[in-house]
Amino acid sequence: MENVHIAPVTGPEIESGYIRIEGDRIVELGAGPAPTGPDGARVDGSGCLATPGLVNTHHHLYQWASQGLAQDATLFEWLVALYPMWASMDAEVVRGAASAGLGYLALTGCTTSSDHHYVFPRGRGDLFAAEIEAAAELGIRFHPARGSMDRGRSQGGLPPDVVVERLDDILAATAEAVDTYHDPSFSSKLRVAVAPCSPFSVTDELMTESAALARAKGVRLHTHLAETLDEEQHCLARLGKRPVDHMEALGWLGPDVWVAHAVHLSDDDIARFARTGTGTAHCPSSNGRLGAGIARVSEMLRGGANVGLGVDGSASSELTPLSGEMRQALLFQRARYGPAALTARQALELATLGGARNLGRERELGSLEVGKLADLALWRVDGAFTAAVAEPVCALVFGPQPPLALLLVGGETIVADDELRTVPQDVVGQAGVAAHHRLVRLAREQGITARTEVHA
Ligand code: ZN
């Protein structure tokens, strides 16, 4: 790839340079014309900006099938409205939703995505395998987290008992998921994490046992934390502790943990995240949609805590592009703290290296450097409208997404000229629509109709 503006994220930008890829790695990168070397495909990157592929660190792919519902709800109202519908999903719903969700992410510059799947209705097929199949077909790097809930309403939790599992079943299924799928290699396209859902849907025993399981198997831990003030009230009422204090007592702060949201952190919480190496998946669109609040991202970065980005499930952030979360993060921080709160380059770092750190992959991913995996996005910034913006990184972060000329995962083409190349784009889109219709039908058979508004 040559004649391209390179934003490596680590190191200075190169106005016109080249990137040489061999196999799945970057083997050379520099300013000026590409040196003559071994023959191979040459890509002219004139008019384009090369960035590392974006890394999505929080999602619930199955929610593609239940978008647009409970539009005016708080998190707890939204969950209560949607849990019964989600109890009807099966592996076919998850397969279609994951195809559409991951295809959409790839079209927005994402080369690596995690997913947090925590609803496993009994007798409805292998839901975890279904999303892994979808990711493999698309060719995206995938970090599925085997989620879980074991504290239903009868035990003081928020979810109805019908969507929770038994502790022993969860631990056995989670161990099996890690043993079956987790690949720890440098080039891995599939790594599994352990992910009990949240303090208000999980017993303390499941949190503790999950941490022990993950650490015994050498995989990472993920959960939702400090998303809303309702959650804080729930924890104070039940435990007499705030969420971060509670999770720390259960062994849930550490360099192998990343949490979603972390909106309501105290100064001391931020210091503890930094000290322990606990990462955060910042999901500004979802936080805005549910009125959860604005995370203290610029203070977290200043304090030395790691932050990556996440689109969160599509039911709480409909059709959110990962590229757009950079802009959303930047605008939220500036709205709260002023125009110096977050720069365009910091926002790009959140979406790339920050995400790679959350997933424990900063050695392999998240920046364009010799020796790293060839995961990169090539954005066209010389179009009729984008070319008027003063510089390429500003065009990418401040504005809507520019055309995606190329998306490579380990040197393999996933997207070219805004079109998926590994699977037909219309097939992926239709799979998502079919998943939605199937979920609506399965839910109706159980007598459940989800509402678009809860306050109407
Ligand atoms: Zn979430």
CA 59 to ligand 1 centroid distance, Å = 6
CA 43 to ligand 1 centroid distance, Å = 38
CA 405 to ligand 1 centroid distance, Å = 30
Tell which residue, 146, 161, 160, has the closest CA to residue 210: 146
CA 314 to ligand 1 centroid distance, Å = 9
Token pair 């309702």 is found at 230
CA 191 to ligand 1 centroid distance, Å = 19
CA 300 to ligand 1 centroid distance, Å = 20
Domains of the chain and CATH, by start? 4-52+369-420 (2.30.40.10), 54-358 (3.20.20.140)
pLDDT of residue 38: 66
User: Around ion ligand 1, which residues have CB less than 5 A away?
Assistant: 260, 312
Q: How is residue 240 written in tokens?
A: 């007499």
pTM for the whole thing?
0.98
pLDDT of residue 214: 98
Residue 349 buriedness (CB in 10 A; 0-12 / 13-18 / 19+): buried
CA 48 to ligand 1 centroid distance, Å = 33
CA 184 to ligand 1 centroid distance, Å = 25
CA 224 to ligand 1 centroid distance, Å = 6
Give the chain as a 3 state SS string: CECEEECCCCCCCEEEEEEEEECCEEEEEEECCCCCCCCCCCCECCCEEEEECEEECCCCHHHHHHCCCCCCCCHHHHHHHHHHHHCCCCHHHHHHHHHHHHHHHHHCCEEEEEEEECCCCCCCCCHHHHHHHHHHHHCCEEEEEEEECCCCHHHCCCCCHHHCCCHHHHHHHHHHHHHHHCCCCCCCCECCEEEECCCCCCCHHHHHHHHHHHHHHCCCEEEEECCCHHHHHHHHHHHCCCHHHHHHHCCCCCCCEEEEECCCCCHHHHHHHHHHCCEEEECHHHHHHCCCCCCCHHHHHHCCCCEEECCCCCCCCCCCCHHHHHHHHHHHHHHHHCCCCCCHHHHHHHHHHHHHHHCCCCCCCCCCCCCCECCEEEEECCCCCHHHCCCHHHHHHHCCCCCEEEEEECCEEEEECCEECCCCHHHHHHHHHHHHHHHHHHHHHCCCCCCCCCCC
Tell which residue, 62, 70, 41, has the closest CA to residue 435: 62
Q: How is residue 85 written in tokens?
A: 């519908």
pLDDT of residue 240: 95
pLDDT of residue 35: 86
pLDDT of residue 86: 96
Tell which residue, 17, 135, 25, has the closest CA to residue 412: 25
CA 16 to ligand 1 centroid distance, Å = 39
Q: How is residue 17 written in tokens?
A: 């340079």
CA 67 to ligand 1 centroid distance, Å = 14
CA 309 to ligand 1 centroid distance, Å = 12
CA 306 to ligand 1 centroid distance, Å = 18
How do the pLDDT tens digits run along the chain, 456 residues long? 999 999 999 999 999 999 999 999 999 999 999 887 667 788 999 999 999 999 999 999 999 999 999 999 999 999 999 999 999 999 999 999 999 999 999 999 999 999 999 999 999 999 999 999 999 999 999 999 999 999 999 999 999 999 999 999 999 999 999 999 999 999 999 999 999 999 999 999 999 999 999 999 999 999 999 999 999 999 999 999 999 999 999 999 999 999 999 999 999 999 999 999 999 999 999 999 999 999 999 999 999 999 999 999 999 999 999 999 999 999 999 999 999 999 999 999 999 999 999 999 999 999 999 999 999 999 999 998 899 998 999 999 999 999 999 999 999 999 999 999 999 999 999 999 999 999 999 999 999 988 899 887
- Please answer whether residues 140 and 414 qualify as being in contact, where contact means their C-beta atoms are separated by less than 8 angstroms: yes
CA 301 to ligand 1 centroid distance, Å = 21
CA 312 to ligand 1 centroid distance, Å = 5
CA 103 to ligand 1 centroid distance, Å = 19
CA 39 to ligand 1 centroid distance, Å = 46
pLDDT of residue 20: 96
CA 359 to ligand 1 centroid distance, Å = 16
CA 160 to ligand 1 centroid distance, Å = 18
CA 115 to ligand 1 centroid distance, Å = 9
CA 255 to ligand 1 centroid distance, Å = 20
CA 441 to ligand 1 centroid distance, Å = 24
CA 60 to ligand 1 centroid distance, Å = 6
Q: How is residue 223 written in tokens?
A: 């959960």
Which residue pairs from 41-46 have beta carbons closer than 8 angstroms and sit at least 24 positions apart in sequence? Answer: 42/1, 42/2, 43/1, 43/2, 43/378, 43/406, 44/2, 44/3, 45/1, 45/2, 45/3, 45/4, 45/5, 45/378, 45/405, 46/3, 46/4, 46/382
Residue 447: which residues within 8 A CB-CB, separation 6 or more?
A: none
Beta carbons within 10 angstroms of residue 267's beta carbon: 10
CA 261 to ligand 1 centroid distance, Å = 8
CA 313 to ligand 1 centroid distance, Å = 6
Residue 338: which residues within 8 A CB-CB, separation 6 or more?
A: none
What type of residue is 198? S
Tell which residue, 114, 141, 104, has the closest CA to residue 401: 104
CA 386 to ligand 1 centroid distance, Å = 33
- Please answer whether residues 309 and 326 qualify as being in contact, where contact means their C-beta atoms are separated by less than 8 angstroms: yes
CA 27 to ligand 1 centroid distance, Å = 37
